[in-house]
Amino acid sequence: MARNTLTVTDNRTGKQYEFPITDGTIKAVDLRQIKVSEEDFGLMTYDPAFMNTASCRSAITFIDGDKGILRYRGYPIEQLAEKSNYLEVAYLLIYGELPNKKQFEDWVAGITHHTMLHENMKKLMDGFHYDAHPMGMLAATLGALSTFYTDARNVHDPESRRQQILRLIAKVPTIAAFAYRHSVGRPYIYPDNSLGYAGNFMSMLWKMVEVRYEANPTLVRALDVLFILHADHEQNCSTNAMRSITSSDADPYSSAAGAAAALWGPLHGGANEAVLRMLAEIGHKDRVPAFIKEVKEGHGKLMGFGHRVYKNYDPRARTIKKLADEVFAVTGRNPKLDIALELERIALQDEYFVKRKLYPNVDFYSGLIYQAMGFPVEMFPVLFCIPRMSGWLAQWNEQTEDKETKIARPRQIYTGAVERPFVEMSARR
């Protein structure tokens, strides 16, 4: 009967070691048994960027990169995008089950109750430069919230965590909208609690002098679906940042600021902005072959393509591509779509991309929709951050209850100088 173990031989000593295999892994710390002498620290694994390292156990999101599968708490993303709504999905991610009617009503009421910001936050945001990037404003303001809610430091109190979860999901659209209004020199618009989550966000963005702003229902639904698609994605870069920062028992506001900073990077959530800049730079679909040639020669990347996990079409990109037709029916077709479609057509048949299993990811088409809806490109990472907040909070909540959680503190391979005596200034070259 095959044993669920791994046997290794250290050829330096001829010794054999047997390690248990659980859930397709061995515990890295077991490798420390492999020594060449008693004083030897023992073997470590070397895995920059965690290419092959599980950092935690999680029941929130499942991805099969080869099959292009994404499920939140077991529910296929395609079904959630078609049948659910963002706040219901946020509840599902955090509490593990779809809410019943009473649970959903209480959840929505709790979030609606927390959409306002402390008035001092306006003074804080007024201090940003007129052309401050809204993602920088958002990250800074999330961190500042930690100074208003000092009870958030009780991270091991489930009721305190529930309060902060409601506040962060509720306030992130308000902060995002205030950042946008600041960037266009318009007065801040307060939340309209009679509107839904996406509709209220659009009102805070675009209400002018009319008594009540009501966005086109097709666009409201499209934004809500985009929020569903962006809500969580297991241990991505920004979620890893959230988990690492909160592993020191830091409060969720300061940690969300760090996660937002990680998300902003153009290799991560900032890619949607980079895609639109790339499409603008290409300018016309006739110039796509020349651009692809540049990429293949190593001059830049095809932004919105490739993924650490998906080695197939990102299921979110497929849904977003379908959503684009519904949005363009209202807003008019985004002419850059022709360039994007030509890029995809060529890339999906070009050996360079096929060999590297590079497919469109969530960021390739989303920006085309955002731009058609009237968002400036600087707001695109902000639109990613708003829904990802529920994913970060779900992962934080899960980690805080995980008995295996310890403060994140990786080891290193030291490559620096050996011991050497201090050199006085007079003796230095």
Residues near ligand SDX (CB under 6 A) are: 233, 236-237, 267-269, 271, 295, 301-309, 356, 358, 361-363
**C-alpha to C-alpha distance for 372 and 35, rounded to whole angstroms:** 60
Q: Enter the DSSP assignment of 149.
A: -
Beta strands in 138-271 (DSSP E): none
**C-alpha to C-alpha distance for 210 and 385, rounded to whole angstroms:** 28
Residue 309: CA count within 13 A, CB half-sphere: 21
CB of 363 to ligand SDX, least distance (A): 5
| Strand, coil or helix: 4 | coil
CB of 293 to ligand SDX, least distance (A): 12
**C-alpha to C-alpha distance for 322 and 368, rounded to whole angstroms:** 12
Q: Which of 66, 70, 20 is nearest to 228 (CA)?
A: 70
Which C-beta is closer to ligand SDX: that of 146 or that of 395? 395
CB of 347 to ligand SDX, least distance (A): 8
Active site residues: 268, 307, 363
Which C-beta is closer to ligand SDX: that of 181 or that of 233? 233
Which C-beta is closer to ligand SDX: that of 250 or that of 271? 271
Write the CB contacts of 33 (distance below 8 Å, at least 6 apart in sequence): 17, 42
Which C-beta is closer to ligand SDX: that of 125 or that of 229? 229
**C-alpha to C-alpha distance for 125 and 43, rounded to whole angstroms:** 50
CB of 241 to ligand SDX, least distance (A): 11
CB of 343 to ligand SDX, least distance (A): 11
The residue number whose beta carbon is nearest to ligand SDX equals 306
Tokens standing for 154? 């009780």
Which C-beta is closer to ligand SDX: that of 114 or that of 388? 388
Q: Which helix (H) or strand (E) holds 87?
A: helix 86-95
